[in-house]
Amino acid sequence: MAASVIVLGAGMVGVSVALHLRRRGRDVTLVDRQGPGEGASFGNGGLIQREAVYPHPFPRALAELRRIAGNRATDVHYHPLALPGFASPLLQYWWHSEPTRYLHAVRAFSALIATCLDEHRALADGTEAMALLRPIGWMKLYATEEAFATALTQVQQAQRDFGVNFTALDGAELAAAEPHLQVRRAGAIHYPDPCSVSDPHALTLSYARQFLAAGGKLALGDAMTLTRAGAGWRVQGQDGPIEAAQVVVALGAAAVELTRGLGYAPPYFGKRGYHMHYRMRGNATLNRPILDMQSGFLLAPMRAGIRLTTGAEFARPDAPPTPVQLERAEPVARTLLPLADRVDASPWMGVRPCTPDMLPIIGPLPGQAGAWCAFGHAHQGLTLGPTTGRLLAEMMCGEAPFLDPAPYRAERF
């Protein structure tokens, strides 16, 4: 059993960890209650976000807090009765978003982000996955000259500090780049480096097929049955118990539900998100993903159609879906683009796993020999899956990590 590992969770992060471990000769079983990539990795904007060096901070401007408190926005929605359960992690999130502390998060987060394109390409090169990684970047659209000027100042700083590439487009250039955009905007910032993924689920499946082709094993099972088995670990699979010397918890939003029983309960919260696909009318097209900053939602061209993704919803974990933001966003989206019918029978919903300091948890699970963490990636699980997989595999296999893992250690909570 010495070289055996169970990886719990078959999203982009878990699949990437499993693949990197298998490439290093470990006997790996990837366990999930459903197929690879069917959780939060299924629904997102489909962006490998090289430009996302700034994690999402808690709003601190009074006007912004008032807007969110009104609970009528398209980018943030909350269930009032759920808020007491979020009070502690959100208070810590607010604390970590103080400018000086936020800079610490930016430095640590940007170190991960800087690697994302290289690490995805290292897994995708020579496979069908490369065709899914479209090198078209994406754009943020600004309604006013003032908002556009402020954004330019910020992105110029990101270019100086973190090598973020961008092109500024005025209103006429934006209209030429996206001729079917139905509104006039003051300008846009095009980030050319990020890859737009035409089918995020297919990308996770492609990496999972590589894992299986390399001799890895995939099993249906319940991660919450994890127990000690001598010096190792055991989890109940659909076809019987699975045992290994080591275990990796890559369960996204459900991770702390498991680790709490193992004595580790960091402050953790989930942001629910929704998406829906639409056809376009006639021969209209959208050439690249766009985020209309005034409206607060992303529209991205996908295999299935134009995907509209919502912002964050705060709700109890067992609350039924309430796609309020989608209902608010759709009429606005129809003013932006000539959208036709919905493609999906019902909205998709998933949960983004978040930590209050805006950094993922990567490394040993405190107090549990042979257990490892790979969760808490918030909005960037798709982006950072391969980076996390490589970093954790190097740590587990005794190699020199290609990045300093200290900022992401579990013990910080």
Q: What is the 3-state secondary structure (H, E, C) of the chain?
A: CCCEEEEECCCHHHHHHHHHHHHCCCEEEEEECCCCCCCCCCCCCCEECCCCCCCCCCCCCHHHHHHHHCCCCCCEEECHHHHHHHHHHHHHHHHHCCHHHHHHHHHHHHHHHCCHHHHHHHHHCCCHHHHHEECCCEEEEECCHHHHHHHHHHHHHHHHHHCCCCEEEEHHHHHHHCCCCCCCCCEEEEECCCEEECCHHHHHHHHHHHHHHCCCEEEEEEEEEEEEECCEEEEEECCEEEEECEEEECCHHHHHHHHHHHCCCCCCEEEEEEEEEEEECCCCCCCCCEEECCCCEEEEEECCEEEEECCEEECCCCCCCCCHHHHHHHHHHHHHCCEEEECCCCCEEEEEEECCCCCCEEEECCCCCCEEEEECCHHHHHHHHHHHHHHHHHHHCCCCCCCCCHHHCHHHC
Q: Phi then psi for 282, rounded to 5 degrees?
A: 60, -135
Non-local CB neighbours of 398 within 8 Å, separated by 6+ positions: none
Where on the phi/psi map is residue 298: left (φ > 0), alpha (ψ -120 to 50), or beta? beta
Cα–Cα distance, 320 to 232 (Å, whole number): 37
Output the pLDDT for position 390: 98
Q: Tell me whether residue 12 is in a domain.
A: yes
Output the pLDDT for position 1: 65
Q: Tell me whether residue 374 is in a domain.
A: yes
Identify the CATH number of the domain in which residue 238 sits: 3.50.50.60
Q: How do the pLDDT tens digits run along the chain, 413 residues long?
A: 678 999 999 999 999 999 999 999 999 999 999 999 998 888 889 999 999 999 999 998 999 999 999 999 888 999 999 999 999 999 999 999 999 999 999 999 999 999 999 999 999 999 999 999 999 999 999 999 999 999 999 999 999 999 999 999 999 999 999 999 999 999 999 999 999 999 999 999 999 999 999 999 999 999 999 999 999 999 999 999 999 999 999 999 999 999 999 999 999 999 999 999 999 999 999 999 999 998 889 999 999 999 999 989 999 999 999 999 999 999 999 999 999 999 999 999 999 999 999 999 999 999 999 999 999 999 999 999 999 999 999 999 999 999 999 999 999 99
Q: Tell me whether residue 313 is in a domain.
A: no
Q: Give the range of the structural domain holding residue 209, as residue numbers without chain letter.
A: 1-55+105-126+199-267+356-413
pTM of the full predicted structure?
0.96
Cα–Cα distance, 370 to 231 (Å, whole number): 8
Cα–Cα distance, 224 to 372 (Å, whole number): 15
Q: Tell me whether residue 383 is in a domain.
A: yes
Q: Tell me whether residue 407 is in a domain.
A: yes
Where on the phi/psi map is residue 126: left (φ > 0), alpha (ψ -120 to 50), or beta? left
Output the pLDDT for position 9: 97
pLDDT tens-digit readout, 153-175: 999 999 999 999 999 999 999 99
Cα–Cα distance, 356 to 88 (Å, whole number): 9
Q: Tell me whether residue 381 is in a domain.
A: yes
Q: Tell me whether residue 65 is in a domain.
A: no
- Contact, 370 vs 245, CB < 8 A? yes
Q: Domain tally for the chain?
A: 1
